[in-house]
Structure 1
Amino acid sequence: MDSSFGLGILVYALAIGGVALFLWLLLFIIRSAIDQSKTSAKLDELIVEIQILRKELKEIKGRGGTIA
């Protein structure tokens, strides 16, 4: 066997490792984006709930009711 053959295998292995690392990083970025979008959606739901509660409180105060 020639030493260039061993070097070729090493280069090939490093290339495969680089591709695997790139795919892992891409997967991590995509998962983070999905998690952030879920968080954003939940935050939007909370904002809507707070708006509904504020509206209900204003209606109760407008009728002269008390808030327990």
Structure 2
Amino acid sequence: MSDLFWLSDAQMARLEPFFPKSHGKPRVDDRRVLSGIIFINRNGLRWRDAPVGYGPHKTLYNRWK
């Protein structure tokens, strides 16, 4: 079992209307990125310490910013 935090389907459905539409280049998986941002903030980690399961730390930071 993974110790990573993941948003549920119900939580994603509530957030879905707030995501920007993709224009040309496909967007990175929003569930993965948002779950990673929440994980970082809950645990007080640096962006570069994000688990690999959430993708590149630069993507997490840029989406948070």
- The structure with the larger Rg is 1
TM-score exceeds 0.5: no
Q: Which has the higher contact order (CA 8 A, sep 6+)?
A: 2
Which category describes the TM-score, using the shorter chain as reference length? under 0.3
Greater share of residues in helix: 1
